[in-house]
Amino acid sequence: MSPLRKLYPLDLSAGTTILVLAVLALAISAYSNWLGVHVSMYTVDAASQIGPYEPITFRFSEAVQSQVVRSKLTMQPAVAGKFDWQNDHTLLFIPSSPYPKTVTIRLGRDMLGSGGTWLRRDMTWKLSVRQPEIVYMSYSQPQRELMAIPVTGGKPRQLTNTGGKIFDFDSSPMGDRIVYSIANNQNGLDLWLIDRDGQNAQKLLDCGADLCSSPAWSPEGKLIAYNRQGASLSSALPPGAPRLRIVESASGADRPVYADSQIIGSGALWSPDGNWLASYDGVAGQIRVVNLKSGQQVLLPSTLGLLGSWSPDSVYLLYPNPMTDSLGTRTVLFRADFKSGEVGPFIGDDKDPADYDFGNPAWSPDGMEILLDLRISPQHPDRELWLYTPATMGGILIVHEMGYSYDFFCWDPWGTRLVVQLTALGKTFSPQIAVWQSGQALTTIAHDGLFPHWLP
């Protein structure tokens, strides 16, 4: 008998099948290589403009070489930010500065695939950035509802219908959602979320008889710091002291900021990098600032309870507080340096005896200027807004009208415009929302409005 085993039909059939599959696999591999890598770009709403701080997602059809992709991916004009790989085929770009009005993204052809496959043609995406709106709370018509209006003015649109139950709110840095506190049927305050167009209102945190208020979005838009006051033990007693807490916007998971439940915290101010969180302890008379990564705490003496403003690089916190020396008592702006640990007067030092009664400042997004709220004369209660330039230690008056005060002012993402609450002093309370930009007078865009925020 031949040493070669006789091949039966079944063996021949199996062998043929294996050969066909191998050839097919090779053909598919060759076809895939010929097709190359495919990539798609995703934004929050593919049919509309992007927000100035909106993350952008790139999804590849297969695993790719991260370093090659990064070397071939460009933005014009360049935008500061970080690239974060979610997995081997998904890349997320998170801007740290706002996009300009238009941005062009290019991904050049190259061998991007981990297995040697190519992106066979250059990819180009052109994006435009939407103009921000302003969101505010109506004062009386309708009472205590959220309204949105274009920065140029026009007819405001109502975002909420709560029956006048809104207490306070904050808009997300991305501009896609708003968090607000609303009175519930237990005499408490719950936290709710709503989209920028007024749709998809949903309860984020059920606080029962507790008061949950002063929500503040973290810079990356995932966390919300807020104050929680325990329910009063009786109608004759006030609610408990506020404690600082954080809730996740996606899951609703809630936690205290401090392990020590006796630490009091009113208000919430995030540093631009999201690492530091400031609040006010009225019992201790201190601004307490905690590093959420390391747990380090910094205590800043304060009797006014105003949290101030962070520099864009998160190095300095500028806040008003009284100072007493041989010249008397006056309010000055203190600067806390979170690199060196030094704290001292920054504007209104011992060389200037005048009391300008500084309010909260507002650092411009580029760090080049600081908006100052002050009073020139103790005999007149009206306020003035100045632009101060740290590099030259000089300032210019930008807004002043006799008999008015200016509150809740903030810069737009590009630092080109300010929104402010304008209130006439000594008259029936009737707050207005106004906008200022260089070269133009302060312009009222909405009447009967409180607590203006940019809606990027």
CATH number at residue 59: 2.60.40.3710
The per-residue pLDDT string of the chain (456 residues; one tens digit each, 9 = 90 and over) reads 444 444 445 454 544 555 444 444 444 444 445 458 999 999 887 666 899 999 999 999 999 999 999 999 999 999 999 999 999 999 999 999 999 999 999 999 999 999 999 999 999 999 999 999 999 999 998 999 999 999 999 999 999 999 999 999 999 999 999 999 999 999 999 999 999 999 999 999 999 999 999 999 999 999 999 999 999 877 778 899 999 999 999 999 999 999 999 999 999 999 999 999 999 999 999 999 999 999 999 999 999 999 999 999 999 999 999 998 877 888 999 999 999 999 999 988 666 778 899 999 999 999 999 999 999 887 788 899 999 999 888 899 999 988 999 999 999 999 999 999 999 998 999 999 999 999 899 999 999 999 999 999
- Residue 20: what pLDDT? 43
Cis (ω within 30 of 0) for the bond into 77? yes
Sequence-distant (≥ 6) Cβ neighbours of residue 227 within 8 angstroms:
211, 212, 213, 214, 242, 243, 244, 245, 265, 266, 267, 268, 279
Domains in the chain, number: 2
- Residue 379: what pLDDT? 79
Residue type, 439: G
3-state secondary structure of 144: coil
Would residue 186 count as lying in a domain?
no
Whole-angstrom Cα distance, residue 151 to residue 328?
43
- Bridge-based pairing of strands 73-76 and 370-374 is unpaired
Would residue 239 count as lying in a domain?
no
Would residue 46 count as lying in a domain?
yes
Q: Which tokens belong to 36? A: 């190359």
Would residue 261 count as lying in a domain?
no
Q: Give the domain range for residue 81.
A: 39-128
Would residue 210 count as lying in a domain?
no
- Residue 141: what pLDDT? 86
First to last CA, the chain: 87
Domain-ending residue, one of 128, 143, 168: 128
- Residue 16: what pLDDT? 52
Would residue 242 count as lying in a domain?
no
Nearest to 148 by CA among 163, 162, 158, 138: 158
- Residue 46: what pLDDT? 66
Would residue 247 count as lying in a domain?
no
Domain-ending residue, one of 100, 128, 156: 128
Instruction: Sheet containing 266-270: give its strands across.
Output: 266-270, 276-281, 286-291, 297-301
Domain-ending residue, one of 85, 102, 128: 128
Would residue 345 count as lying in a domain?
no
